[in-house]
Amino acid sequence: MLEEKLKAYRIILASGSPRRKELLAEMGLSFELRLKTVEESYPDHLKGEQIPSYLAKKKAQLYQGELKANEILITADTVVWHIDSSLEKPGNREEAFEMLQALSGNWHEVITSVCICTKDSTQLVSDLTRVKFADLSPEEIAYNIDKYQPFDKAGAYGIQEWLGLVGIEEIAGSYTNVVGLPTQKLYKALTERLDQAESQ
C-alpha cells in the first residue's frame, strides 16, 4: 500500500485549500502543510490545461532548493474552462453571478494539474472532467452566492456544496478532480515513483 511505501518520506502539501487537505487525508496519507504566497498570474496566450500546469509549476518553484532528500512536495491548481476562457475565482458577487449564469444549462471543463517534486525531479499530472449544469434560475444562483460565498472557488461553485448537489446533471470524468485534486492519478503517480525508487 502507498502509505506503507511513504513511511520513509515526508509529503509536503503546498496548498491552503481545505478541499485538497481533506482529500489527501482521506487517501490515508500523512502530510505537512507548508504555505507560501504566490501571485496566480499567467501569460495571456495559455489555454485550457496549460494554465493550471503553468500555475502548479510556478507554485512549486517557490520551494526549489529547499526540499530535503526524503521530502515530496505537492502543489496544485484548478481552472474552470468554458467557451475558450478561464473562469477564475470571482472578485465579487456580480462576477460570481455572471459566471454561474454562463455555466447554467451548459457543459464546461474542470482541469486540475498537480506538480509532484522531489529534490531532484519534477512530475506534472493533469486531469480533465466535463461537467454539465441544469438550467439554473436567478434565485438559485443568488441563493448559492449569498449562502456559500464561493469567492475562493474557480467558476464560483463547489461541486460538493449545495449548487453542485442540486444543479449538476452530468459529470464525465473524476469527481475529486472537480473538488480540486485528481486523487486516482495522484495515487498512481506516487506509487509508480516510489516503486521506481525502490528498484534502483
Name which of 153, 157, 173 is nearest 165 in CA terms: 157
More confident residue, 181 or 5: 181
pLDDT of res. 60: 97
pLDDT of res. 200: 64
φ, ψ (nearest 5 deg) of residue 162: -55, -50
Could you give the percent of the chain with pLDDT greater than 90?
90
The number of distinct structural domains making up the chain is 1
> For residue 90, with 0-12 CB atoms within 10 Å meaning exposed, 13-18 middle and 19 or more buried, which class applies?
buried
pLDDT of res. 199: 73
Q: What is the pLDDT of residues 74-133, one digit of tens each?
A: 999 999 999 999 999 999 999 999 999 999 999 999 999 999 999 999 999 999 999 999
Name which of 35, 32, 29 is nearest 16 in CA terms: 35
Model confidence at 150, pLDDT cuts 50, 70, 90, reads very high
Three cell numbers written together for 194 = 516510489
Q: What is the pLDDT of residues 96-107, one digit of tens each?
A: 999 999 999 999
Handedness of CA 45, 49, 51, 54 (dihedral sign): negative
Give the CA angle between residues 9, 16, 143 to the nearest 5°: 140
CA distance 52 to 107: 19
What average pLDDT does range 134-141 have in this prediction?
98
pLDDT of res. 147: 96
- What are residue 128's DSSP bridge partners? 111
pLDDT of res. 198: 75
Model confidence at 45, pLDDT cuts 50, 70, 90, reads very high
> Is 84 one of the annotated active-site residues of the chain?
no
**CATH assignment of the domain containing 7:** 3.90.950.10
Domain with 174, as residue range(s), is 2-199
Which of these is catalytic: 44, 77, 127, 135?
Answer: 77
